[in-house]
Chain A
């Protein structure tokens, strides 16, 4: 079937302004939006630029705004998008656009790096593994799924406004360790998120939960961190 794909193009080497361009591609209903972008790049316009790698939703390269919602291009099928209408594709919002659908991910990764996203322990290491009950392991399972695609953070209106907010992803990243029974860095991590750009800026709009391609309950995770801060106990 023939599908129209409208893409927000931007290349400062050519033009200072971004502009919409519409392409017509023949696709199968089971094709992914990523297939559509590839067809355009490979058959019509080689200058179209986007990131992609694994193409099945585990590497997190191709988060973009498709029909106004943040999704992974490789996990969004054409048939689920009402292909009778034009499909719009834009870069994710709130991060500086470098070219077409490619944004500068550094501010995003900066936020992630700033919440100490690694296991903090003290004392001697055991010879064998640390023991952790199945229930304790289950406690933070949801947030271990994160692939750092930035779909959540760039769907958050608070992040859009000034980009100073840590963003949902960083809180998810912190949650994964705060609720890990083996970790001893909870106090420090909570203190970081107690910042004025921390969890308290969350307005529970649920955009992040809706945007997450891995189905993580992001808003719930953020609320759990808030609760941990108020009661100082996880």
Chain B
């Protein structure tokens, strides 16, 4: 048909009981994904606001933000966990949102597949790298460092 403003897949005939839809089997994946978005969203509000507050308002405020400040924070396990949670939740939340958008707007199954592949790869790379950084971060790698934590 030439004039459907919103394009659609060619799957037209669907059998009874929804069998024609690409059913994902009897999993609760979409349910948990939906729930995860709500819960992670809530958690992120706390995590991000807390993060912004400590970084920008406490102590010297934004002017005191430097390498040393970050190094100092990550010496504390609380902030390690905090930032790790923020990283994971934000990445999963964002990626899941992107997955939704791809599901909604990608027209062809192939496009959908490759976009999702790209998305998942990107998410994994960032999460892995970020996690590595948080746990293996060594501010004193440079022997000539003058930071207080290295003394």
Contact = CB atoms under 8 A, between A and B. Distances in A.
A17 B3 CA distance: 7
A195 interface: yes
Given A17-B3, A114-B18, A194 B8 contact: no
B16 A114 contact: yes
A207 to B, nearest CB: 12
Contact of A17 (B2, B5, B14, B104): B2
Given A8-B3, A198-B30, A200-B34, A161 B17 contact: no
The 7 nearest A-B residue pairs measured at CB: A160-B6, A18-B3, A200-B30, A114-B18, A163-B8, A96-B1, A196-B24
A214 to B, nearest CB: 24
Contacts of B100: 203
Interface string A139-175: 0000000000000000001101111101000000000
Interface in A220-234: 226, 229-230
B73 interface: no
A4 B118 CA distance: 50
A129 B29 CA distance: 40
Contacts of A93: 4-6
A131 to B, nearest CB: 30
Interface stretch (A48-56, A81-89, A105-113): A105-113
A12 B104 CA distance: 29
Contacts of A200: 30-31, 33-34
Given A162-B107, A164-B11, A196-B23, A113 B4 contact: no
Interface of B: 1-9, 11-14, 16-18, 20-24, 26, 28-31, 33-35, 100, 103-105, 107
Interface string A182-217: 000000000110111110110100000000000000
B108 to A, nearest CB: 10
Q: Which of A17, A116, A157, A164 has the most CB atoms of chain B within a 10 A radius of its CB?
A: A164
Contacts of A164: 9, 11, 21-22
A97 B8 contact: no
Nearest to B105: A161
Nearest to B104: A161
Contacts of B7: 161
Interface string A38-68: 0000000000000000000000000000000
A197 B22 contact: yes
A226 B34 contact: yes
Interface string A1-17: 00000001010100011
18 contacts: A94-B6, A94-B8, A97-B4, A107-B14, A110-B13, A110-B16, A113-B16, A161-B8, A162-B8, A166-B21, A194-B28, A194-B31, A195-B21, A195-B30, A197-B18, A200-B30, A203-B100, A230-B31
B9 A163 contact: yes
Given A10-B3, A94-B4, A161-B6, A107 B12 contact: yes
Contacts of B29: 196
Given A97-B3, A160-B6, A161-B104, A192 B17 contact: yes
